[in-house]
Structure 1
Amino acid sequence: MSIRPYRRIEKAHWDDIHGFIYNRGRIISGSKDGSLKFWNANGELLNSFESSNKGYKFWVTALENFDDGHFAVGTRDGTITVFDMKDEVVFNANNVSDQTFPKPISKKRNQQRIDCIKQLNERGKPHFFYVGVARNLQLWNLRDKKFIRSFKASDNDWVYCIEPFRNGDLIVVIGSTLEYWKKINNSYFQKTSIIQETLEERKSKQRPHISSIVRLQKDQNILAASLFTGHVKLIDIDTQRVIKTFSEHEGRVWSVSNVNSYNFASSADDRTIKIWDVRQNSSVLTLSGNPGRVSSLMKLDEGIFISGSCPDKVFNSEEKASISFWDIRKAL
Structure 2
Amino acid sequence: MSLVYLQQESTPLLPDSIWALKWTSQNQIISGSADGHLRIWDPIELSTKPIYDLTSNPLAISSLSTTKNGKYALSTSLDGTVVLADVENGSIISKVETSREVVGQGEKELPAFTSAIHPENKCWAWSGRSSKLAIRPIEQDSLAQEQPTNGDDAETSGNGEGSSIKRGSIGGEGKSIDTGKGKFGMDLQFSPDGQSLALSTEQGQVIVLDVETQNIVATYTSHNKAVRTISWSPDSQWLYSGSDDHLIVLCDVRAGSKSGSDGKGEGAVAMMQGHQSWVLKVDASPDGKLLGSGGADSMIKLWDVGQRSCVSTTTGNSEIWGFSWQPTATDTFAAGKQFAVAGDDKAVTLFRAAGSV
Fold match (TM-score > 0.5)? yes
Cα pair distance change 1:74/1:21, threshold 3 Å: farther
Contact 1:304 1:329 in 2 (8 A): no
Which of 281, 294, 300 is equivalent to 1:255?
281
Provide the alpha-carbon RMSD of the alignment: 2.8
CA distance in 1, matches of 2:122, 2:311: 40
Q: Which residues of structure 2 form unaligned runs of 5+?
A: 143-168, 256-264, 328-334
CA distance in 2, matches of 1:35, 1:73: 10
TM-score for both structures, normalised by structure 1: 0.78
Report the alpha carbon displacement of residue 304 of structure 1 after superposing the two structures with TM: 0.5
Q: Structure 2: which amino acid aligns with 1:118?
A: I
Contact 1:39 1:46 in 2 (8 A): yes
CA distance in 1, matches of 2:173, 2:296: 36
Cα pair distance change 1:156/1:102, threshold 3 Å: farther
Contact 1:182 1:191 in 2 (8 A): yes
User: SS in structure 1 opposite 2:113?
Assistant: coil
TM-score for both structures, normalised by structure 2: 0.73
1:114 equivalent in alignment to 2:113: yes
CA distance in 2, matches of 1:21, 1:93: 24
Q: Which residues of structure 1 form unaligned runs of 5+?
A: 104-110, 202-207, 311-319
Which structure carries more relative contact order (alpha carbon 8 Å, separation 6+)? 2
Which of 321, 324, 327 is equivalent to 1:295?
321
| Equivalenced residues, count | 294
More strand by share: 1
User: SS in structure 2 opposite 1:33?
Assistant: coil
Which of 89, 93, 106 is equivalent to 1:86?
89
Aligned to 2:251: 235
User: SS in structure 2 opposite 1:266?
Assistant: strand
Aligned to 1:131: 126
Identity %: 13
Which moves more between the two structures, 88-97 or 69-78?
Answer: 88-97
Contact 2:7 2:352 in 1 (8 A): yes
Cα pair distance change 1:52/1:96, threshold 3 Å: closer
User: SS in structure 2 opposite 1:77?
Assistant: coil
Aligned to 2:16: 14
Report the alpha carbon displacement of residue 72 of structure 1 after superposing the two structures with TM: 1.9
CA distance in 1, matches of 2:129, 2:340: 29
Which moves more between the two structures, 237-246 or 17-26?
Answer: 17-26
Q: Deviations over 1:234-270 (max 9, x none)?
A: 1111112311111110110111112353111111111
Cα pair distance change 1:162/1:304, threshold 3 Å: same
Cα pair distance change 1:127/1:181, threshold 3 Å: closer
Report the alpha carbon displacement of residue 132 of structure 1 after superposing the two structures with TM: 2.3
Aligned to 2:262: none
Aligned to 1:59: 60
Report the alpha carbon displacement of residue 98 of structure 1 after superposing the two structures with TM: 4.1
Q: Deviations over 1:264-292 (max 9, x none)?
A: 1111111111111112242111122x210
